[in-house]
Chains A and B, each alone.
Chain A
Amino acid sequence: MLHIINKSSLERGSLDSCLELIGTGTLLLIEDAVYAATRGHASSGKLSEIAAKRNVFVLVPDCEARGVADRLIEGVKAVDYGGFVDLVAENPNCHSWL
């Protein structure tokens, strides 16, 4: 399953809840959720742990818009809009966390 998160992990609990039950799923961070994948961010530690075991992606245009494309943590993979579509198509199902 593809899990999509679009809210900041310091403002909402969606990243924490998602990480609890991600299982063998894939994670895609978009919009304000991308900050969590930046070096030194309070959520970057647990994200690194997951990225070592699972596929974790961030949407590059959202990172660029926020000025953080140059400070992404190791192990996180970058995708553009085309890659976003591919991820949705590749996965049997998808959960966009509110």
Chain B
Amino acid sequence: MTTKKFMFVNRKAPYGTVYALESLEVVLITAAFDQDVSLVFMDDGVYQLKKGQQTKGIEHKNFSPTYRALEGYDIEKLYVDRESMTARSLTEDDLLVPVTVLSRDQLTSLFEEQDVVLSF
């Protein structure tokens, strides 16, 4: 099987919609196929990685610890959009996992080099 470059674009906040959780599940399944996977977090999607999520009050499963398991699944290319972070006053210290912060120009290049792009 040839390796393709897969990119998951995450643009929704967690819990308000099901997109974030669905994306995470697809990413974990994709990991079994040994592809070149990148995750991009932009717009409200950067909130998926916010530290300190406590979901007891809304009676929803807190899936944020699972982002820390991605490394064990050999998914290590996590990118966040700098402008989305700034608009939300977030810094890398606010995030659960190590990420690479990219400018819009860098993101454009990253998008262009992909074989498959999946949007959530």
Residues on the B chain within 8 Å of A61, using CB = 56-58
| Interface-lining segment among B1-9, B47-55, B67-75 | B47-55
Total contacting residues, chain B, CB less than 8 A: 24
Contact of A41 with B15 in the complex, beta carbons under 8 Å: no
Residues on the A chain within 8 Å of B76, using CB = none
**A35-B88, A41-B87, A42-B87 known; A65+B55 contact, CB < 8 A:** yes
- In the complex, whether A40 has a CB less than 8 A from a CB of chain B is yes
Residues on the A chain within 8 Å of B43, using CB = 10-11
Contact of B87 with A10 in the complex, beta carbons under 8 Å: yes
Residues on the B chain within 8 Å of A80, using CB = 57
Contact of A38 with B52 in the complex, beta carbons under 8 Å: no
| Contact flags A46-86 to B (C-beta < 8 A → 1, else 0) | 00000000000000111011111110000000001000000
User: With A and B bound together, what is the CA distance between A46 and B47 in angstroms?
Assistant: 21
Enumerate 22 A-B pairs (CB-CB under 8 Å) in ascending A order: A11-B44, A31-B16, A32-B16, A38-B88, A40-B89, A41-B88, A61-B57, A61-B58, A62-B15, A62-B58, A64-B53, A64-B55, A65-B14, A65-B54, A65-B62, A66-B13, A66-B14, A66-B15, A66-B53, A67-B54, A67-B64, A68-B50
Per CB-CB distance, the 9 closest pairs between chain A and chain B, nearest first, are A40-B89, A61-B57, A32-B16, A67-B52, A67-B53, A67-B50, A42-B87, A64-B54, A65-B55
A residues at B contact (CB < 8 Å): 6-8, 10-11, 31-32, 35, 38-42, 44, 60-62, 64-70, 80
